[in-house]
Structure 1
Amino acid sequence: MKIVKNLFLVLAMVFSLISCSDDDDNSSLEVNPSTLVLVHGAWQSAFVWDQVKTELEKQGNTVIAVELLGHGEDNTPVSDITFKGYVDQVKAVIVGLDTPVVLVGHSLGGAVITQTASEIPQQIEKLVYVAGFIPKNGKSVLDYSALDTESLLPTALEFSADGSTAAISNPEINIPEIFCQYGSDEDIDILVEKLKPEPVGALATPLDYKMDDYNAIAKKYYLFTKEDHAITYPFQQAMASEAGITNTFEITSGHSPFVSKPAELLQIFDTILTN
């Protein structure tokens, strides 16, 4: 009986150790939720992030999609819209949070997050570009877009009489061709329906930041959209290289993967958030 009793004690200890080991393994796989701030691009608004935002929130993350002035439901007069105003919007969101953030910018939003992150680098955990502009100090989005000679976007623009805004001509054709290849008919209809002329002044404003402040953010990522006709793949690669970003990913999509290929984009975000 004593031998049997001792055997039970040994087995109990073994099972206890195995249980503790399993708990440790599970805890090591747990991922702390992140706080993400998403910044859309030109001729779009915060709604384009809806699918991605919903799925990220289901994973326990906190996600804020910023609606830049004059976009979407915001009707700020064009005369009151500035690039600094965009940056101040994003900064206000981040400063109001009690944690470092993963700051994500698409297209024009790439320039916005570059300036924002350089002004408050201590509050940026990771910087993520989705086909985003990264103008150097002293250069604007328009300066950089002029360098992308293969882009189809310039030929699709119609400027207002006073030159203050730029609209997309023939949107039923140009939106799917330039902004959202692979998007469904429903996706395209929504993009066209919500399309508004873009304020030009903010696009023409040179960025003003110190490279040391920008480089203080150690974790930067660039997501290339390989079939992009708005900001071409080679030009995206050149900007990422110029900015010293070596953590890169690719999606075979047009300019708006959060609309046309959200599942693939989410897989990449999952990798970035756990990196």
Structure 2
Amino acid sequence: MNAQAYVLVHGGNMSTETWNKLAKSNIHTPDGKMGGRIWDPIIPSLQAYNHQVFAPTLKDEHQSNLTEHIKEISTIITGNHLENVVLVGHSYGGMVITGVATMIPDKISSLVYIDAALPDPGQSLFDLIALGGRDPLSFAGLEPAPPYVEKLEFNPHVLNRFPKIYILCTESEFVTVTHVAREKIASHPKEWTYLELPSSHVPMASMPEQISRIILENTANR
């Protein structure tokens, strides 16, 4: 297996309290948030094959927006001179990796969406939740912060060049968003590898070995 670069993009900045319940752990951080630490359980599995792994914490959602988050990840890729990057996005992170892939497509090899938002051009995360028939504000802790209400504009044809994997978590509370994604994928099945995992919304916490294996098996040497 040849070494690759993986850039892992978290969703909304999860509280340590929520994480500890899911992962049955006892992690505490100065700000009470997990950020990029949600990837810690799977990073060793990727690094075991000498892959480079980047799992940054995005700038606070009250001080940034979707465009800036996309630029953050793009800068990590270009600043580290990465090529053939596997972008992995969880939850809201699906918005970010979609934007990154269409901004710097020549740097990207494949996309992995983990129970993630899958936008069409001109849609925001809040739009996707509403499309699923739920009030976005009904999600505990979800506020109309700038990244979640900003509409993502991109050229969808650029995404056609990439192998794309979607992992739907069947026990997820994010089902209103992932249901919308599943319908989109069903209308273009040849463009996707679609998989289901009997996990909560955060398989990195509840099923780290399984999600690591899925990522590696479906992205190695693309």
Q: TM (normalized to structure 1)?
A: 0.67
Deviation of 1:156 (Å): 3.8
- Which protein has the larger Cα radius of gyration, Structure 1 or Structure 2? 1
Which residue of the partner structure matches residue 116 of structure 1? Answer: 100
CA contact (8 A) 1:134 1:243 kept: no
- The answer as to 2:41 corresponding to 1:51 is yes
Q: 1:51 to 1:106 in 2, by over 3 A?
A: same
CA distance in 2, matches of 1:227, 1:118: 30
**3-state secondary structure, aligned to 1:95:** helix
Deviation of 1:270 (Å): 2.0
Which residue of the partner structure matches residue 176 of structure 1? Answer: none
Question: What does 1:246-261 align with in structure 2 at a 5 Å threshold?
Answer: 246-261=192-207
CA distance in 1, matches of 2:185, 2:57: 25
Letter in 1 for 2:8: L
Bigger helix share: 1
Which residue of the partner structure matches residue 210 of structure 2? Answer: 264
Letter in 1 for 2:174: A
Which residue of the partner structure matches residue 103 of structure 1? Answer: 87
CA distance in 1, matches of 2:73, 2:187: 24
CA distance in 2, matches of 1:208, 1:235: 18
CA distance in 1, matches of 2:171, 2:56: 26
CA distance in 2, matches of 1:241, 1:115: 22
Q: Which residue of 72, 91, 109 maps to 1:89?
A: 72
**3-state secondary structure, aligned to 2:55:** strand
CA distance in 2, matches of 1:61, 1:53: 9
**3-state secondary structure, aligned to 1:70:** coil
Deviation of 1:64 (Å): 0.3
Letter in 2 for 1:134: L
- The answer as to 2:211 corresponding to 1:241 is no
Letter in 1 for 2:138: T
Deviation of 1:231 (Å): 3.1
C-alpha RMSD of the superposition:
2.1
Q: TM (normalized to structure 2)?
A: 0.81
Runs of 5+ in structure 2 lacking a partner? 15-34
Stretch moving more, 135-144 or 62-71: 62-71
Runs of 5+ in structure 1 lacking a partner? 1-30, 72-77, 158-166, 169-197
CA distance in 2, matches of 1:242, 1:209: 19
CA contact (8 A) 1:34 1:273 kept: no
Q: 1:135 to 1:242 in 2, by over 3 A?
A: farther
CA distance in 1, matches of 2:211, 2:44: 13
Q: 1:237 to 1:90 in 2, by over 3 A?
A: same
Which residue of the partner structure matches residue 216 of structure 1? Answer: 161
Deviation of 1:213 (Å): 1.8
Q: Which has the higher contact order (CA 8 A, sep 6+)?
A: 2
CA distance in 1, matches of 2:123, 2:131: 12
